[in-house]
Amino acid sequence: MTGPVAGPVTGPAPLRVGVVGVGMMGADHAVRLAGRAANATLVAVADPDVDRAERLASSFEGVRAFADPLELVADDGVDAVVIASPGFVHEEQVLACIAAGKHALCEKPLTMDAESSLRVVEAERAAGRHLVQVGFMRRFDPEYVAMKAMLDAGDLGRLLLVHNVHRNKTVPDGFLSEMIVRDSLVHEVDVCRWLFGEEIVEITVHSPAPTSEAADGVVDPQVAVFRMAGGGMATSEVFVKCGVGYEVRCEATGEHGNATVGLGSGVLVRSANRWGGSIPDDFRVRFAQAYDAEVQSWVDATRRGEVTGPTAWDGYAATVVCEAGMESLRTGSPMKVSLA
């Protein structure tokens, strides 16, 4: 699983980045790398839909298009890779980056199941160094960063409870109950592990009566309860067809006070994309600063030959929790979480 080791990129040369997967998220990252990331340059994009890849590449000067993502990973003109492809191909693509000795920023989920995520962790360990960062961008959002610093400083005393709200205005009807856990709740999983600084040891996913907007058989909204290793608890509401806008909030309750992020200002009524201010339609607006900071941090760390953001282990741990969550959703029972 080991391969040639690419050294850190230092000096005036920018980090040459390729983007794999050019759907909504990949195209957004391509624009970010081409126009806003310092010390980086977009050099290639890849997608099995080669027409779409070529259209995106043609909007930038000197960017090549690949039909085969693995060819992009292996190309000597690419120093590092952003993986924004569907989750079911992540394992192959991340393992290819590790084998090539190239840093990768992989959008969540790391992979689709615990076994394949663990294979990524083990491959990285066999390579002898961290190469993979997982795209849990909330760790880079200015509000979340400020709350984490407050908790770490002990300003609120010991953290006891976390309450999360994660609402989308709408999603396609093909967004199934399990995807709500794996692709949406996974962010709350990582937030809670990060804020508490410990693992989730049990998850229960509750199924309220679904919204009339939900497709047949889809459980939406869902409420997940996490038990943390140190005894704390967290609740997370995920509602992917709320009809209002894209709302993400988090309240951390400590022994001596609480802090909330995601409220905006002048919160009175939430309807028709208004709450005393604008509620964005989607995640790209709400977390624009977070994505910019995430990619810039990844570029800077990669140029030093380091990984400073969420690691492959973080991706694996989140996958294990979500896998247990999907089983809890199916059975209605609490499920223990066991990490390798």
Domain ranges of the chain: 15-137+292-309, 142-282+319-336
The DSSP symbol for 182 reads I
pLDDT tens figures, 108-123? 999 999 999 999 999 9
The topology (CATH level 3) of 15-137+292-309 is Rossmann fold (3.40.50)
What mean pLDDT is predicted for residues 18-35?
97
Residue 280: pLDDT over 80: no
The topology (CATH level 3) of 142-282+319-336 is Dihydrodipicolinate Reductase; domain 2 (3.30.360)
More confident position, 157 or 266: 157
Asked whether the beta carbons of 83 and 298 are under 8 A apart, the reply is no
Q: Which two tokens stand for residue 209?
A: 């009566």
Residues 6+ apart with CB under 8 A from 11: none
Residue 9: pLDDT over 80: no
**Other Cβ atoms closer than 10 A to 66:** 23
pLDDT of residue 275: 45
What is the residue-averaged pLDDT of the chain?
92
Residues 6+ apart with CB under 8 A from 101: 3, 4, 5, 6, 127, 131
Q: Which residue's entry shows tokens 């890779």?
A: 81
**For residue 264, how many C-alpha atoms fall within 13 Å in the half-sphere facing its CB?**
16
Q: How confident is the model at residue 273 (pLDDT cuts 50, 70, 90)?
A: low
CATH topology match: 15-137+292-309 vs 142-282+319-336: no
Residue 13: pLDDT over 80: yes
pLDDT tens figures, 184-206? 999 999 999 999 999 999 999 99
Q: Is 317 exposed, middle or buried (0-12, 13-18, 19+ CB in 10 A)?
A: buried
Beta bridge partners of 19: 45, 82
Residue 272: pLDDT over 80: no
pLDDT tens figures, 224-237? 999 999 999 999 99
Beta bridge partners of 20: 46, 83
Nearest to 225 by CA among 242, 241, 210, 203: 203
Question: What is the pTM for the complete model shown?
Answer: 0.88
pLDDT of residue 268: 30
Asked whether the beta carbons of 194 and 176 are under 8 A apart, the reply is no
Residue 258: pLDDT over 90: no
